[in-house]
């Protein structure tokens, strides 16, 4: 099989594709003929040794794939060779074959193509689980989404609207704000030209947001603390801005705020039943037309470096996807 292999910590520029033997199939797993692999900001971290988990060398990056099942382990039930599926992985997606735990595999909804399916697990899984399971977002609440034109941010906009919230989206530049508005946001804030705190306060009559979804960190998180409503919840999804915020606990005390860290991948092991319930509602929302996944960039496997660099340069709105079989 062909795969992007990491033999030492590196930057995207050092990525190369190699031809290697197919990996063994462990118990409880399926082998997938990968048609498309979703690209995520964390791909650039894991190849550099800066992710929270560090795989053993050599390994392939890639946390999500879509394709057809080639083989199932003898103890696996419920899946058959030829089933069209998407799956979340610990790593290994940047290849034309991947091994996934059967519990991490989901049927591709009717009418969804491989590229869209590959963009689905991580971004929608993270946003839905964060908002509905962790923050318990309720209809009528005000949701503030940062990085709202990016991979997870745009899905948070759609999930928030599907849940009945009023969504305020922040993004860098009028074009990105327009993308968030087109996907259902009620209001948009261009943080390059507008002050987040004052605009959120203005839009909410001085009250602030009930729930904040923050994949950016840094100064954006600091602004969130100042425009979250009393008894509000802040979801820390990641630090795409490059700076990990230091949280002043006195602000949490005075405003009765809750800050929740969400490492979605860990729940695949900690609470697989809750993940399954999350995906069940996501599929219902997709089939009802409430979710409209956006893939703005596609790349070949040989262009994996370009894909990660495009993400780092914030050129992608929605998702970037690697097409492994030349679609």
In 3-state terms, what secondary structure has residue 187?
A: strand
Long-range contacts: 220-223, Cβ < 8 Å, 24+?
220/146, 220/147, 220/170, 220/191, 220/196, 221/245, 221/247, 223/195, 223/196, 223/197
Domain with CATH 3.40.50.720 in the chain: 123-265
Quick one: pLDDT at residue 240? 87
Are 69 and 45 in contact, with CB atoms under 8 Å apart? no
Among 45, 54, 61, 89, smallest CA distance to 239 is for: 45
- Cα gap 259→236, rounded to integer Å: 7
Task: Work out the mean pLDDT of the chain and round it to a whole number.
Answer: 96
Q: Beta strand 105-107 with 84-88: parallel, antiparallel or unpaired?
A: antiparallel
Instruction: Report the 10 Å Cβ neighbour count for 123.
Output: 27
- CA of residue 210 relative to chain centroid, distance: 22
Quick one: pLDDT at residue 326? 65
Q: Which residues of the chain have pLDDT under 70?
A: 326-327
Are 66 and 118 in contact, with CB atoms under 8 Å apart? yes
In 3-state terms, what secondary structure has residue 50?
A: coil
Among 297, 299, 304, smallest CA distance to 4 is for: 304
Domain 2-120+293-323 has CATH 3.40.640.10: no
Domain with CATH 3.90.180.10 in the chain: 2-120+293-323
- Determine the topology of domain 123-265 in CATH: Rossmann fold (3.40.50)
Quick one: pLDDT at residue 327? 55
- Cα gap 149→246, rounded to integer Å: 25
């Amino acid at each position: 099989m062909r795969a992007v292999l990491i033999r030492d910590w590196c930057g995207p520029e050092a990525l190369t594709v190699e031809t290697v033997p197919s990996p063994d199939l462990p118990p409880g797993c399926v082998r997938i003929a990968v048609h498309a692999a979703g690209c995520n900001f964390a791909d650039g971290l894991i190849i550099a040794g800066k992710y929270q988990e560090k795989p053993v060398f050599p390994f392939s990056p890639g946390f999500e794939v879509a394709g057809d099942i080639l083989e199932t382990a003898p103890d696996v039930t419920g899946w058959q060779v030829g089933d069209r599926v998407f799956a979340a992985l610990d790593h290994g997606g940047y290849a034309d074959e991947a091994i996934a735990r059967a519990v991490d595999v989901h049927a591709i909804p009717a009418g969804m193509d491989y590229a869209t399916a590959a963009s689905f697990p991580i971004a929608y899984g993270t946003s839905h689980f964060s908002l509905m399971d962790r923050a318990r977002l309720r209809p009528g609440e005000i949701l503030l989404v940062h990085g709202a034109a990016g991979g997870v941010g745009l899905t948070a906009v759609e999930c928030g609207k599907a849940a009945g919230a009023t969504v305020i989206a922040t993004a860098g530049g009028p074009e990105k704000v327009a993308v968030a508005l087109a996907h259902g946001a009620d209001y948009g804030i261009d943080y390059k030209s507008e002050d987040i705190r004052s605009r959120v306060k203005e839009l909410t009559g001085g009250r602030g947001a009930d729930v904040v979804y923050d994949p950016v960190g840094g100064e954006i998180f600091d602004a969130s603390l100042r425009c979250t409503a009393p008894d509000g919840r802040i979801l820390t999804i990641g630090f795409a801005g490059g700076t990990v915020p230091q949280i002043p606990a006195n602000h949490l005390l005075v405003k009765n705020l809750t800050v929740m860290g969400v490492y979605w991948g860990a729940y695949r092991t900690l609470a697989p039943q809750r993940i399954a319930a999350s995906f069940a509602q996501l599929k219902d929302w997709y089939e009802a037309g409430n979710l409209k996944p956006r893939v703005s960039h596609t790349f070949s496997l040989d262009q994996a470096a370009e894909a990660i660099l495009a993400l780092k340069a914030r050129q992608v709105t929605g998702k970037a996807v690697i097409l492994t079989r030349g679609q």
